[in-house]
Structure 1
Amino acid sequence: MDAALKELAKLEKLTSSKGKSQTIDDSLESLLQSLHEIKEQVQAGDVHEETFQQLSQTIENKKKEVDDRQKEIHASVTRLGKTLDKKFPSSLPAYNNLFASPDSHASLERTIALHFLRTGQFEIAECFLEESEIVIPPTLKAQFVDLYQILKALKNQEIQPALAWTKQNRQFLQSRSSPLEFYLHRSQYIRLLLASHPPDPRPALIYAREMLRPFYPEHETEFKRLISCVAYLPLRRLQQSPYADLTSTALHFDLEPLFAKEYCASLGMSRQVPLRVVGDIGGGGALARIEKGRKVMRERKSEWSQTDELPIEIPLPPENRYHSIFACPVSKEQSSESNPPMMLYCGHVITKDSLQKMGKTGNHTSSKVKCPYCPTESVLSSVVRVYF
């Protein structure tokens, strides 16, 4: 918005009497005053030929001033409009009512209600539920309230509520190989380590022996670093040591999004709020880009596909890039456990079946395969499986 505000300031300066040069109103007022003066001279009978010549010259000068200022204002308005067009997407076309049926309308209202609950807006959620008559199970409401109480405690550097939840859901976390419980204990260990002045590592080491030691098999390297960093106390020396990353505040504040992610996963929900993702991607420019591309291709009569597809790339932030399904660009088949995606040395990815077919020459199997997109040859033994 900086460019738009700058152009708006220029336009305001051109139309304001505070500027150095005269505005259109100033020029017209000056011309009107000159006409009144000539009128008074005519009524008094004190009129000469030079008076009308001066009046004609004054009118021409004022007309030129007004024309020049109008050109400047018009140019400024045009620049402001172009700046706003670049900043804000074009208006979307009108669509038919997508939520006309009772089921789709109820689904939309349920999505909105869950959005308020997931974002911690519980009073708004209650009001919306009363007015929409959507029924949300009380247990689900209680779970979201519990989530935000735990997140509030984590923000205040209280990890006990979060640890109580991880103990109840330890089997679920282990099935996901989640480091949440270990990171919670690590945060508490660092706080104990840096809490005393002068440094006294004994409370922290006792805590590590009781709480962190069970995680040694899965986090051996990190466990050793946590114990070894004691040799570099106090804090000032630790910040200049190879263990300086353990003094970062991110080590504590990153627990909130990680806990929210695991909590929502335990409820069978995505880590991101669906309504927010839809608004950020669609309302953030994707729909406008798609509509603009469709309009351009319609005008040029160059439809790209008969399946209502458009060759448009939508830039997305890293957190909104999903790869749950991979379709092989060679065979056009979706990957599976028996036919996983494989990455060639050049970086291109195809499915295993396509890779094996490309490696066969007649009745023999070659040790190398040529990428269909570049002249690079890859040794089959160096091809890497890709996990999405």
Structure 2
Amino acid sequence: MRSYFLVINCRQEGIRSLQSFKKPNRRESTTHSRRWIPVSTAIRPSPASSLPISPSIHHLLPSPLSPLGGDMDMAIDSAPNGDASSSPAVPPATAAAAAAPPAPTTRLAQLAESLKLEYQFVRVPLEHLKKTMRTNYRLAEKEVAAVLSSVAEAVDRSDAMSRDDALTHLSSLVSRLQSLKRKLEEGSRVENLQAQRCRARLEHLDSVADADKFAEWKDVRLTRILVDYMLRMSYYDTAKKLAETSKIQELVDIDVFLEAKKVIDSLRNKEVAPALAWCAENKSRLKKSKSKLEFQLRLQEFIELVRADEKLRAVSYARKYLAPWAAAYTKELQHAMATLAFRHNTECSTYKDAFEPSQWDCLVEQFKQEFCGLFGMTNEPLLNIYLQAGLTALKTPLCYQEACRKEDPLSQEGFRKLAEPLPFSKLHHSKLVCYITKESMDHENPPLVLPNGYVYSTKALEEMAGKNEGKITCPRTGEVCSFTDLIKAYIS
């Protein structure tokens, strides 16, 4: 599978046409002629066509320690067919005043920016721990209250109880308390495991500051993102196997997604009971977020009764479960009650949609959104978010033209679809990458312009000239020229 180098730091990098120029120093080598030309004449290949291919998928992810550098100004000597009057030079002072380069970002600030994407990494186990603690507390409160009530009742009628009845009653209370003890011990064990998971994740985030361990940290992050994607795509067994082989069970949320899987599977089987039980368990938090999930589940159950032509049961169900929602969802409730006058195969467009099987798919998606919201997770897989961040820096109008080359990730339909809702890159300066060596072109490895307008690095062309007696062959067009015919471009 191809892996592409996606630029993540959108504030510093971009794939755009070069816009500012600097006149070369007259004391530079006079091997090449000098004449100012429009950049469109000197550099014909599209910026996106020079994107390097990386052999590792790590470049799909942001690397806070290795940004591609800041903005660049560029000056180009003369080229064939150039015209000094067609593109006047911009003085260096003017270019610097027009767009001053941003202050260099410190490593600590870059790490802080990267860790902002790890919000759900800590939030999910914390929310899971809080939920377990609430469940254990409610269980203990309920059982203890029941035992105390039973003891008080026994005291009130102690005069009428025989010795054997009293012993039997006390034995039942002891058994109940022993059962509560076992449940609380199990709950305490689960709490300790979840607390250990929170601790492990904090220690993992703390290790990012260690430069020696940063490569390992990136490997683990990549695996975590892949496991998250598999879980969201319902590849539970594959995700579990990957987590086990990578030994990162404490750094992924398999148990949380397995909890959601039970509800999702039941909804796909057109059963609402597990989903309603989940809503009851999280009622206070769903109410706080003004969720409609429980109402939609009740509404769908009502529709299923109407579909089965059990209208009396449907009316009774509506009085018991839908009436309490009348004030908040009057229009939806009126629309649902009107379905009593129609059959499930009605052709009336107003009510036909209510009987569509796709309503169950909508419930599944709504449950996923509510579930992610409760645990502080993103609705989109983390892999999509990282990829979209990179595609935002790469997306240009040229990417959607036929001239877009295969080296550009956006030449593939899958990436284009993912980038469709994203804006075009807002950056104004390009990072030049050699088409031959896939290395950056800078002061130490400056770009050279061929007579046909294509640009390659000095390192690549010198190596080619050394092997071919000073002759250069353009790898794109096959045109042959002499090394002395090359035009030097200056980057500042």
TM bin, normalised by shorter chain, reads 0.3 to 0.5
- Greater C-alpha Rg: 1
Q: TM-score, normalised by structure 2?
A: 0.37
Give the number of the structure with larger relative contact order, counting CA–CA contacts within 8 Å between residues 6 or more apart: 2
Taking structure 1 as the reference length, the TM-score comes to 0.46
